[in-house]
Amino acid sequence: MRDAYIIGAGQTLFGAMPDESYRSLFTQAFETAKNNVPAGIDNKDVDEAVVGSLGVGGRQLGLSGPAATEHAGLHGIPSSRIENACAASGYAVRQAVQAVKSGMADIAIGGGVELMTDLSADVTKYWLGVSGETEWERLTGTTFSGVYAQMASAYLNAYDATTEHLSMVAVKNHANGAQNPKAHLGFECSVADAANAPTVADPLTLYHCCPTSDGAAVAIVAGEDVVAEYTDDPIRVAGVGAASERVGLFERDSYTAISSSETAAQQAYRQAGVGPKELDFAEVHDCFAIAELLAYEDLGFCGRGKASHLLDNGVTDPDGDLPVNTSGGLKSKGHPIGATGAGQITEAFKQLSGEAGDRQVTEPRYGLTHNVGGSGGSAVVHVLEREVAR
Amino acid sequence: MRDAYIIGAGQTLFGAMPDESYRSLFTQAFETAKNNVPAGIDNKDVDEAVVGSLGVGGRQLGLSGPAATEHAGLHGIPSSRIENACAASGYAVRQAVQAVKSGMADIAIGGGVELMTDLSADVTKYWLGVSGETEWERLTGTTFSGVYAQMASAYLNAYDATTEHLSMVAVKNHANGAQNPKAHLGFECSVADAANAPTVADPLTLYHCCPTSDGAAVAIVAGEDVVAEYTDDPIRVAGVGAASERVGLFERDSYTAISSSETAAQQAYRQAGVGPKELDFAEVHDCFAIAELLAYEDLGFCGRGKASHLLDNGVTDPDGDLPVNTSGGLKSKGHPIGATGAGQITEAFKQLSGEAGDRQVTEPRYGLTHNVGGSGGSAVVHVLEREVAR
């Protein structure tokens, strides 16, 4: 199987940018990604594009893939939109990897974009709701906060974790995001701030929920036989896994684990020939604080019910054994639905390239990204490897 | 590059089925596709799924890929929705081919679904409109009929074709569709019927436009090293090409050619090592009658401006040198947006397998499918080959 490499990745600022368009954001992210390719790259080198987006707002719901890449100066190439709710661009990067591995492209880009803040809050809520299970969740009035609140309640009931652990996720990720100039909510917060914030869906407070963000991110993927033209510090896609789970939470075997994340991680580890112990950092899908605890367990960072111990012991802090969400995560960096997965790849690329600035992890070799759609209806995991030792 | 094969393909009835759901339709198509695999296939053999859909109506806009495959009994596998307007499932099949060629899947399904008739006509019109260019086409009141009418006017002005040739496309495709038990409008019509029908957008009459249909279709793709387990009459994906074009018609170099179709066809022919002369039949994207004339030229069936000569000489009739749209095409078989591309693959699979019943072409070896998104913002072309000589 032909190896695939990330040769560049970049993102826009994540935040409220209602005067931008999905096209202007995508183009900015693509230009930033190109600038991050060590030896540079021309548009004409790109053979294929995959654009992840939920299409919030429905402005250009059809053909928004070709419309975005046309604006970015990629006229003529195969371009499509992939949708997997919040995992859209994790899947887009995976699809770019597939395009390269298949031999049908030497260079493919996988990215994503979402523009959400130019709508009224009610309209945005509708567009987010349509990623939940329709008949028995959305139409009965259950929002995503409600679904994750059910998972949080079940988890806190099953194990010895407390709401303080949910707040510790927020505190850690806000502290990380405060070091990230691209973060939407780049400020620190305390456990007390999180605990005392208004309840969104019990037990989740405002600080246990990610914001509604605009943004775009793009990763540029190259085949092993062309990678040397673009960089002498290649970041290999060592493993990639993806899976689905029942879309409705109420139909699943467990409320305290997301089987799609587990399956995707196992695939990615197997392909990469490494396990969680070899990871130097991870970007995980923390749309709600409980999701980060579930991720620790689904991705094998610890056993079932032990996620709170990692937080108690600072294991996932920036100076811990396995820093998680150095970017600030969805919680602080922001969560522009279609851009999130490629944004995680961007952070991993920067970390592995030694370009993560104030939040740089020491000489990482392996990094993992974990992107979830909806409440776990889909998940995709990448393990990236820096091949050149420092 | 690993070869990919279509081992089975199937579709639902195309038509008005407002009591069905996108899930029930997708499942029916998948079951039919499985039944068409000569040696049968189990759900557990399927490694990956790609579901094409515009998501008309927005019922389950996010995660409708996993939601459809879950209902079809494919719980757990990577499943995503791909959107490329009316070319969604042509791209879905292409992506299944990529998955197989990449080695990441041995068996992948590419399909599509659309449910359109359970909405009021105005709502459906909105959902179709969002596949047009938004700012300068849809929001100025231009519908797809309007865009294709502009192309038709330009074409009739540039060349010696007449509106009668548009009607001849309708007559031919309705005659073909009348032989297809799965067709939405399975009745014959005359040139006079088409000419005298109400004008939709001058010069296009009602009979020059495809209907609004519900339906689903699925193709099952297998890698060369596993294909023998499923069939001894394998249909090879000899070539596949895809391309994009500017989404807004007004931004293009030509109104009388669709460059994305041209590029996609050239790629597919190059990969297959054959040209239009070797084709035994083709399913082309005739959303409006003018589109079939453009397709003849974009796909190299004849020179520029000569499409009407093919019609005049019966070349694309069922008993002509190159039968086109034996299924009835979008015009008569119907056009459930997300299902159309995989529906074309289904017809090609049936023809090449000798299972096309009353509309069977004599001993075909090569067949082409051509699926267009919007007014040409994207296009995808497959060349399929029956490897076993009869």
Backbone angles phi, psi at A338, to 5 degrees: -70, -15
- The pLDDT of residue B379 is 98
Q: Contacts of residue B102 in chain A, CB cutoff 8 Å?
A: 1-2, 97-102
Q: What is the mean pLDDT of chain A?
A: 96
Question: In B234-305, which ranges are E strands?
Answer: 235-244, 281-283
Cα distance between residue A8 and residue B45, in whole Å? 35
Does residue B65 sit at the A interface (CB-CB below 8 Å)?
Answer: yes
B 205-234 near A (Cβ less than 8 A)? none
What are the start and end residues of each CATH 3.40.47.10 domain in chain A? 4-119+212-235, 132-208+238-331+344-382
- pLDDT over 70 for what percent of chain B? 99
- Strands annotated E in B169-232: 199-201, 204-205, 215-223
In the residue annotation, B335 being an active-site residue is answered as yes
Q: Cβ atoms within 10 A of the Cβ of A199, count?
A: 12
- Residue stretches of chain A with pLDDT short of 70: 389-390
Structure tokens that stand for B207 in this block: 């009979």
The residue to which tokens 């998680």 are assigned: A324
**Beta-carbon contacts below 8 Å between A and B:** 198
Contact A133 B60 (CB under 8 A): yes
Fold of B133-210+238-333+346-385: Peroxisomal Thiolase; Chain A, domain 1 (3.40.47)
Specify whether the CB–CB gap between A361 and A280 falls below 8 A.
yes
CA-to-CA separations, A180 to A12, A110, A289, A342, in angstroms, rounded: 12, 22, 19, 16
Those residues whose C-beta lies under 8 Å from the C-beta of residue A198, and which sit 6 or more positions away, are A205, A206
Query: What pLDDT sits at residue A222?
Result: 98
Question: Which residue intervals of chain B bear CATH 3.40.47.10?
Answer: 4-119+212-235, 133-210+238-333+346-385
Integer CA distances (angstroms), A9 to A33, A112, A195, A349, B333, in order = 4, 12, 36, 7, 44
Which tokens belong to B96? 């299944």
Question: Catalytic site residue B75?
Answer: no
pLDDT tens-digit readout, A47-75: 999 999 999 888 888 999 999 999 999 99
Mean pLDDT of chain B: 96
Q: Please give the residue of chain B at the shortest CA–CA distance from A84.
A: B63
Q: Which CATH superfamily is domain A132-208+238-331+344-382 in?
A: Thiolase/Chalcone synthase (3.40.47.10)
DSSP one-letter string for A122-157: HHHHHHHHTTS-TTTTGGGT--HHHHHHHHHHHHHH
Helix residue ranges per DSSP H, A178-214: 191-196
CB A292 within 8 A of CB A169: yes
| pLDDT tens by residue, B113-149 | 999 999 888 888 888 877 788 888 888 888 899 999 9
Closest CA to A84 of B377, B240, B95, B101: B95
Angle in degrees, 0-180, between the axes of helices B64-71 and B22-35, rounded to the nearest 10: 50
> Which DSSP helix (H) or strand (E) runs through A239?
strand A235-244
Spatial separation of the C-alpha atoms in residues B152 and B166, rounded to whole Å: 9
Report how far residue B247's alpha carbon sits from residue B131's, in angstroms, rounded to the nearest whole number. Answer: 9
User: Looking at the domain that runs over A4-119+212-235, which CATH code has it been given?
Assistant: 3.40.47.10
Give residue-wise pLDDT tens across range B68-82.
999 999 999 999 999
3-state secondary structure of B309: helix
| CA torsion angle A329 A335 A336 A337 (round to 10) | 110
Residue B166 has pLDDT above 80, yes or no: yes
Which among B149, B186, B146, B183 is positioned nearest to B166, based on CA atoms? B149
Whats the size of chain B, residue-wise?
390
Per the structure block, which two tokens stand in for A17? 């940018």
CA distance B224 to A78: 25
Q: Which two tokens stand for residue B227?
A: 């294909």
pLDDT band at B61 (very low <50, low <70, confident <90, very high): confident
Sign of CA dihedral A226, B98, B21, A254: negative
- Residue A36 has, within 13 A of its CA and on its CB side, a CA count of 32
Quick one: CA torsion of A169, A174, A175, A176, rounded to 10 degrees?
A: 90
Judged by a CB distance cut-off of 8 A, whether residue B377 touches chain A is yes
Query: B214 in the Ramachandran plot: left (φ > 0), alpha (ψ -120 to 50) or beta?
Result: beta
Residue A357 corresponds to which tokens in the numbers above? Answer: 């600035």
A238 in contact with B, Cβ within 8 Å: no
Contact A64, B130 (CB under 8 A): no
Q: Are the CB atoms for A216 and A334 separated by under 8 Å?
A: no
Residues of B with Cβ-Cβ distance to A61 under 8 angstroms: 54-55, 83, 127, 130-131
* Peptide bond before residue B203 is cis, with ω within 30 degrees of 0: yes
Extract the tokens encoding B42.
């189990």
**Portion 109-168 of B in contact with A at CB < 8 A:** 127, 130-134
Contact B286, B144 (CB under 8 A): no
Res. B58 pLDDT band, cuts 50 70 90: confident
Is residue B297 scored above 90 in pLDDT?
A: yes
Q: What is the pLDDT of residue B133?
A: 86
List A residues 246-265 in contact with B (Cβ-Cβ < 8 A).
246-247, 259-260, 263
Residue B269 phi/psi, 5° resolution?
A: -65, -45
A21 interface with B at CB cutoff 8 Å:
no
CB B39 within 8 A of CB B135: no
Beta bridge partners of A235: A6, A386
Alpha carbon separation from B34 to B46, B170, B284 (Å, rounded): 11, 32, 25
